[in-house]
Structure 1
Amino acid sequence: MESLFVLLLLLALLGLGLPVAWSFAGVVAALAWVYDANLNTLMLQGFRSLNSVILLALPLFILAGYLMESGGIAGRLIAFIEMLIGRRRGGMGTAMVGASGLFGAIAGTASAAVAAIGTLMIDPMEKRGYPRGYSAALLGISSLIGILIPPSITMILFAVATQQSVAACFAASIVPGLLLMGGLMVFNRFQVGRSFHETPAPAALPMREKMAITARTLPALLVPLIIIGGIYGGVFTPTEAAAFAVLAAVLIGMFIYRDMTVKKMCNSAVQAAETTGSIVLILLFSFIIGRIMVSQRIPQELTELVMAAVEDPILVILLVVSFLIVVGAIIDDVSITVVIAPLLLPLMVSVDVHPVHFASIVATSVVIGANSPPMAPLLYMACRIGKAPVGQAVMPALKLILWVAMPLMLVTTFVPALSLALPRWLGLM
């Protein structure tokens, strides 16, 4: 009952228009009053939870994402991928999906991919025959490849909130991320010629120009390879990898591509600080909410209540996944990751779902929720960036969810090897 009260109160405060961080603060105040908790002690415990070397990766990866967006990396990636596959059927849409995956693997956030890829690609796609609504829907879902393919801000938050290995959570979401990318590419290829017609691509580029594009893109392509290879090769920790990503973004943007200026760097730092500040406040209050709920045995009582009502483990898993999707359509992925996921983790563990496997389940559920009405934050952001009417994007988004995102979530949920084989092979579990 208390967990339902927490969720309803949070939704009510968000519905009133309060910023997400202060909505969490309101929940903390209400719980402290109900349970007569000592706020001084709780704030101290919350600060100690934030005082983590692992969490340093969070602001660094966020800063790296903004720097790469303003440093010209996204444009080079798009040109490279379009050179490889742009002349094939559905080439522009496939290029958007591939660019979102590559940029997400560098920046680690879906919003950065929406802003960077959408600004550069939706207008050219319309000229090639793609409806703006369809392009925005494809961008909204493909941008979430970035929360599955590491480094991922969402996986860092999940690992910290549930006390799991960051590297293991990173590895667990790689295969689902690649499956999502492949599924979107296949769906897009079948849509071209059925829902709309794509005009032929320009003539193939000469080999010399192809080599020039590849050479210009190579520094950008090396960054995710070094980051991921360095983490799993034991060369550096996720926090050190984040610091390397910031350094690489500055050096590549300023000295190789020369798109980075001091003004752009300062603007990126300000945007990263604003984003980080909001997330850190949410984390602080979520840690405090977690402390109160654990002290009152709320997660354990929720587990006992559900297990008493539903005996079949498969039904329990489906219930949790359905709940994640519904909540994901109302609140953002950060809120789900740091509050809802830890609350549901004991229930999933009770039906033999490994916490690292649950990380992938949460991430694939967010892909659906973040693009599902009524809130659909990433879909609406993609429409705003692409100047597309929301009404024209809803049906394509629902088709993508039905034929790509939903099957991916079910396969990820009921085939644990997709998430656990790679972490075990790498010795992370």
Structure 2
Amino acid sequence: MEHPLLITLGLMLGLMVLGSPVIFAIGFAGLAYFFVKPGMIHMLDIYAHKFFTGMDVFIWLSIPLFIIAGEIMTAIGMTDRLVNLSRLMVGRLRGGLAYVNVVGSMMFSGVSGSALADISALGPVEMKMMEKDGYQKDFAAAVTVSSAIQGPIIPPSIPLIMFSALTNTSVAALFLAGAVPGMLLGLFQMAVIYVIARRRGFPTNPIKGLNLQVAFGIVLHAFWAIFMPLIIIGGIVGGIFTATEAAAIAVAYGLVIGIFAYRSLSLKELWAILDRSARTSASVYLIVGFATVISWILANERVPAELQAMVEAANLQPWMLLLMLNLFFLVNGLWVSDSVQLLLFAPLFTPLLAAMGVDPVHFGVIMVVNVMIGLITPPYGLALYLGSSISGVPLGRIVRAAMPFLVSNLVVLVLVTYVPAISLTLPRLLGFL
């Protein structure tokens, strides 16, 4: 590895460690390469070209559209309806509201595709209900942030869309491949809740006055939220529309439901939704553009070829490399965000693993599950900070309460890594592999 590349990567990592915004760290490090690499100072136009072309990809348009769709669904009261439906399903169990928290995240993931959106939308409602029912605030916050990582794995998934765009992998196959691992995370979290609920004597939380008519009303009120992911996933898998077109349809669907079915979406609220979505999308697009420059630098320095040669020289088996990469992503997840890991490392390692016989769809799910776990690992875990902000519980207490859930998530990661059928069976059955 030559000195200009070492300086570039060292500068990027150093700025991140010092607390610099990720966008600035990646962008400045990429720019520095053209000044420290001999003969590159006169090729600065490549920096601008790669920055723009990195963002100028049709499928990236689906990200702001899915963000808008999730914001609309939250604004029109979809969260309360999903929580009530979750109570109908699991509220009568011991530790009922903790189960509701997990099941609610499973269903909301079909609306937002974002862990942080899940925490922001469902967190205040769920944590308030759990606290009122006698749960400790740190446990309520821990369940909320841990269950939220299902959102970006169960389709529609923004991280899986990113992986698809970065590696030219079928987004439909990735969506199908992420469904079972995402639900598996929720089931293992529910197993943890079962053990803790028995040990601590958590209460049940059935819906009062429940009868067939009440149950039917709850299902009917939540119908529009449940129907939305069916349209999106069914349309993509059926080849009716692309992921970007599906995101646009999701926005149109949310507008129609909010204006005509629920009659709860005002022009003022819609403007606020567009403003928040634009800010979030802008930060994503800037990271995408600057990360594309870094990816070009790595390719220009022949890093993928050198990695391939190193793996062949070490005679590594696929399971060994997957173990090493999982550890690598988990360590990076302590201080690097999920989107940055995807943007920097998905294009780098996917061809390497594909050459060793690992299906890119399988690796995509492994990587997304791994970087989502990074959202609840200190000190960087964004989900932990957001949960602490919403609940008012110190970060350290949430981390301690979330440890059993973190262990369960790691068990799922191992299963997904070394049992490819968990990810690949569904896309194979439907003819996408």
Same fold (TM over 0.5): yes
User: Structure 1 residues 49, 216: closer, same or farther in 2, change over 3 A?
Assistant: same
1:164 maps to 2:164: no
SS class of match (2:199): coil
Which residue pairs with 2:16 in the alignment?
14
Distance 2:389 2:225 in 1: 27
Distance 1:414 1:11 in 2: 30
- 2:94 is aligned, of 85, 89, 96, to 89
Distance 2:344 2:307 in 1: 14
Distance 1:6 1:343 in 2: 16
Distance 2:174 2:206 in 1: 40
SS class of match (1:330): coil
RMSD: 2.0
What TM-score, normalized to structure 2?
0.93
CA contact (8 A) 1:129 1:196 kept: no
Distance 1:359 1:82 in 2: 33
Which residue pairs with 2:403 in the alignment?
398
- 1:360 is aligned, of 335, 350, 365, to 365
Distance 1:130 1:350 in 2: 50
For structure 1, the residue ranges without an aligned partner over 5 or more in a row are none
- 2:426 is aligned, of 398, 422, 426, to 422
User: Structure 1 residues 220, 184: closer, same or farther in 2, change over 3 A?
Assistant: same
User: Structure 1 residues 372, 310: closer, same or farther in 2, change over 3 A?
Assistant: farther
Which residue pairs with 2:136 in the alignment?
131
CA contact (8 A) 2:110 2:228 kept: no
Distance 1:209 1:6 in 2: 61
* Segment drifting more, 323-332 vs 129-138: 129-138
- 1:251 is aligned, of 242, 249, 256, to 256
Deviation at 1:200, TM superposition (A): 5.4
CA contact (8 A) 1:106 1:224 kept: yes
Amino acid of the residue matched to residue 294 of structure 1? A
1:153 maps to 2:158: yes
* Segment drifting more, 145-154 vs 246-255: 246-255
Deviation at 1:386, TM superposition (A): 2.0
- 1:375 is aligned, of 374, 380, 393, to 380
CA contact (8 A) 2:149 2:373 kept: no
* Segment drifting more, 33-42 vs 141-150: 33-42
User: Structure 1 residues 5, 186: closer, same or farther in 2, change over 3 A?
Assistant: farther
Deviation at 1:10, TM superposition (A): 2.6
CA contact (8 A) 2:177 2:365 kept: yes
User: Structure 1 residues 192, 7: closer, same or farther in 2, change over 3 A?
Assistant: farther
- Within 5 Å, give how 1:146-295 maps onto structure 2: 146-195=151-200, 197-198=202-203, 201=206, 203-295=208-300
What TM-score, normalized to structure 1?
0.94
- 1:220-248: per-residue Cα shift (whole Å, max 9, x none)? 11111111111111222111110111111
SS class of match (2:198): coil
- 1:264-305: per-residue Cα shift (whole Å, max 9, x none)? 111110111011111111111111111121122112213323
Distance 1:141 1:7 in 2: 31
Deviation at 1:398, TM superposition (A): 1.7
* Segment drifting more, 373-382 vs 39-48: 39-48
Which residue pairs with 2:44 in the alignment?
39
CA contact (8 A) 1:53 1:239 kept: yes
